[in-house]
Structure 1
Amino acid sequence: MTSRSCPCGLPQAYEACCGRYHSGSAAAPTAEALMRSRYCAFVKGDAGYLLRTWHPRTRPGTLELDPRMRWTGLEILETTDGSAFHAVGTVEFRASYRGGSLHERSRFERVDGAWVYVDGEFVR
């Protein structure tokens, strides 16, 4: 990842990639794009975006992010459905942080046309 590339791992600059989703000027068009933007929100400490893109059925009332957490990379392992032609999708990913990694299979659904995170299960 170059210093100008988006923290989600794609080569575009943050503003042209996940930044436009965070600012609300665009909506993530796929479940994978939403997954990448949510990872980026963890990197940036944007709890508001994480809550806004969480399914109302499973969204917590508040979200406290640890400011000491240092996310270091995202690897998308598999996506199932989640395109413009689907109502649901899954994204399996590995998110690395200083000292370890998190491997999860996340479920996404569309609510009023927008992709939202439903829940996930940790993969060992």
Structure 2
Amino acid sequence: MHHVPVRWSDMDAYGHVNNARFLTLYEEARVAMFFIGAREHGLGSFEEGIVIARHEIDYLRPIDYGDPVRVEMWISEQRAASFTVSYEMFDNDVLASRARSVCVPYHLANGHPRRLTEAEREFLKPYLEVAS
């Protein structure tokens, strides 16, 4: 879970968070998890490169300017060379949006995707949603 502030610049002409800015709010939560959170666990390899292969968002209700939104995240799919982050965004404890991002570990210096390392798999394990 991560709280993300809603900024005045996130607003559209109708006084709601602009649909494209939802991606920014999700990105801030994802960065906190894969850069700050992973680093706190002694893992810095995600900082060397992750690219987004796909985003999908369901907009359930508008978000107004005000308190930070709460983003809850989990890993809904993990493969050898990608993983999917699923999110739910809450505004005042009301579900406002659902989204998914397919993330690909990427070797920026060499310019190609790479497989998840064992350390990265271990970091993701507590966040992995187990299908029932």
TM-score, normalization by structure 1 = 0.33
Larger Rg over CA atoms: 2
| Between structures 1 and 2, the one with greater helix share | 2
Q: Which has the higher contact order (CA 8 A, sep 6+)?
A: 2
TM-score, normalization by structure 2 = 0.31
